[in-house]
Every structure is written in structure tokens, then in C-alpha cells.
Amino acid sequence: MNAMRKIRQGAVLLVAACLAPLAVAQSAMPRMELTAGFYRIEAEVAAAPETRMTGLMRRNSMAENHGMLFVFPTRERHCMWMQNTWIPLSVAFLDDSGAIINIRDMAPQTETSHCADAPARFALEMNQSWFARKGIRPGMKIGNIDKAPPPQ
């Protein structure tokens, strides 16, 4: 019985050690205010390779009007996926000026690629259907995008 308890404790410590860098990366992300029409968005900013790779992984929820802005170093037809992401999201791909190119809904824990329809500089993830509920559509602009930090 004692050996089993030690194995369980070791497994818990191993999981905690693996998740610790993820928690540090997520808590270290800068935040900025964006706007979409009349709506204010509090966005975490993933501008570095490690934060772009982590994104919203392993989170149980996200507050209303909160999101994550991905800042890419190049304009490309970037794609997003939902491996290890537990909450349903919608992603808007944005051009250099913040204009929405397209919006895709993404199911949790899937590896399906959701891609920009044209070269994009940014991607903004929000709770699923947030854009639709607010009447935010392709062609509309996300405000304050010019204040985003440069990509690393």
C-alpha cells in the first residue's frame, strides 16, 4: 500500500512539473485592450514562439470579452488547431490593419486545421460564437491592433 501511495505522489509531482512551464508562460503574457465595434476586448498577447505554441491550452474557461491575440512575424495563411485546448473557441484572422479576413469556429481537443483565407498578421481567439453574437463579421476592423507588441 505504501509503495502505491509513493507511485501516485510521484505521478502527481511529474504532472505538476510538466504543467509548471505552461502556467508560467500563460501568466507572463502581456495584456492589451482591443475593440470590436462597440465592444471592449481584454486580450492576452502571444507574440513569442513559446506563447504562440501554448495559446489557450489547458484552460477550463475564459471570461466574456476576453481573448488571445496571436501576433505572427510574417503575413501568411496561418492555421490554428485545438490540441489540448479544452474550451470551444472562434478565431478571427486579421490583416495588418486589423481587418477581419475570416472567422472560424473550433471544437475543443481536435487537430483540425482552421486557416486564414488570405495572408494574415494576427489571429484573435474568443469564446466560441462571440463574434457572431456581437454581429462582428469579416471586413470589420479590430481596433487598437496598431498597439500590439512586435512579434518575436
**Predicted local confidence at residue 1, as pLDDT:** 52
Asked if residue 132 belongs to a domain, the reply is yes
Asked if residue 55 belongs to a domain, the reply is yes
Asked if residue 2 belongs to a domain, the reply is no
Query: What are the start-end ranges of the H helices in the chain?
Result: 2-27, 49-54, 130-134
Total structural domains in the chain? 1
More confident residue, 128 or 23: 128
Asked if residue 13 belongs to a domain, the reply is no
Asked if residue 126 belongs to a domain, the reply is yes
Whole-model pTM? 0.82
Asked if residue 12 belongs to a domain, the reply is no
CB 139 within 8 Å of CB 100:
yes
Asked if residue 11 belongs to a domain, the reply is no
Q: What does the pLDDT look like over 78-128, one tens digit per residue?
A: 999 999 999 999 999 999 999 999 999 999 999 999 999 999 999 999 999
Mean pLDDT of the residues in the chain: 88
117-138 CB burial, b ≥16 within 10 A, e <16: eeebbbbbbbbbebbeebebee
Asked if residue 79 belongs to a domain, the reply is yes
Domain CATH code at residue 45: 2.60.120.1140
Q: Identify the three-state secondary structure at position 45.
A: strand
Range of the domain at 71: 29-147
Q: Give 48's pLDDT tier (boundaries 50, 70, 90).
A: very high
12, with CB counted inside 10 A (0-12, 13-18, 19+), is exposed
